Amino acid sequence: MNTPESFFGGAPEALASAPGRVNLLGEHTDYNDGFMLPLATPQRTDVALAASQDDQHHLYSGTLDGNVTFAARGGSAPQGFGSYVEGCIRLVEARGVTVPPLRMFVSTALPVGSGLSSSAALEVATLRALRQWLGFELDDVALARLAQRAEVEYARVNVGIMDQMASSLCDERNMLFIDARTLDHRLVPLPPETAVIVVDSGVPRTLAASKYNERRAECEEAARKLGVAALRDVSNPADAAAVEALPEPLRRRARHVVQENLRVLEAARGVSAERFGALMNASHDSLRDDYAVSIPELDQLVAALRAAPGVLGARLTGAGFGGACVALCRAGSAREAAQAALSTYNKAGRQGRILIPVPTQGKENNNEPVRVSPAPAGT
């Protein structure tokens, strides 16, 4: 396995990193022009780069122990982590910036396939490293837009904007309220004296991509039948009645999106810890019953989290069909609650693991909870 020193033959010329994200409310709303409340993860993806000595881009993933090489001019990376990086490079070039042949070393602490958006972290870290190395102007919202386009156009995943906005603009102490239509955004503190737990179900999200595209198409059809540009525009009682008149499964898909947007807007105005937890519970139930993106393992993990001491609410996070679940708990109880939920869940032969609180030196019983405090004045 390469090290950065051996890969570069010395020090790199630029270093950048970006976090993953865990979404607390607002699932499957971003591609419906809706609202969401993600939070940055403590785990990050790191990118280092330097000039290449030939006319090839050379990429290496320390996490995967894999190499990708493609021509700097006119070449294409194979599908995989290289396609995300290639998309970032090509879109920077489309802005009139010359990107010389480069060597890039990528490593990440984010678990791939757990719903914490390792792909967005890679894209944002790559664009930050290119911005630093080449010195071009690119604000953080424009950077998120480019990162999204890289995933859609080069990795061929038709994602919304939430993951990239969160990775580019979030921090670990505050949620980021995002309006997917306007990209207006602001930091929103969680209720005081709370902490976040994330537990991976151990089930890969094998159906997430195909079902994601299916749900997106169903939402577009529902919006067309309702005569609105997007389901975000369903906002009054008459519209809600029209939703209930839609044929199945469009009725349930649209109902989830409409109610989920209302949950986000309520939470963003500021609610008690207990109310925020109740909104998370309602979100999961809607994702399970109306949007049909949960699976038995996620439901079991959510139930284990809800039963754990100090937990106020829990839901799946990410696209569904596997991946992780997130819970809000009282500060000081995150470690005990996460371990209790994991113990209950794994008794059925599951292979879950705690992602947040982050293990210290590989020992989950030394975890420290991610505490959420009020935003600084002026945010």
Positions annotated as catalytic residues are 163
Structure tokens belonging to residue 319 = 């696209």
Backbone angles phi, psi at 78, to 5 degrees: -70, 160
Maximum alpha-carbon separation in the chain: 66
Of 313, 304, 310, residue with least CA distance to 369: 310
Q: Collect all residues with Cβ–Cβ distance below 8 Å to 82 and sequence separation of at least 6.
A: 59, 68, 70
What DSSP line would sit under 41-63, residue for residue? EEEEEEEEEEE-SSSEEEEEETT
CA 299 centroid distance within chain: 20
Of 178, 132, 111, 122, the C-alpha closest to 154 is 122
Burial tier of 50 (Cβ tally within 10 Å: 0-12, 13-18, 19+): buried
CB 108 within 8 A of CB 125: no
Tokens of 268: 């963003």
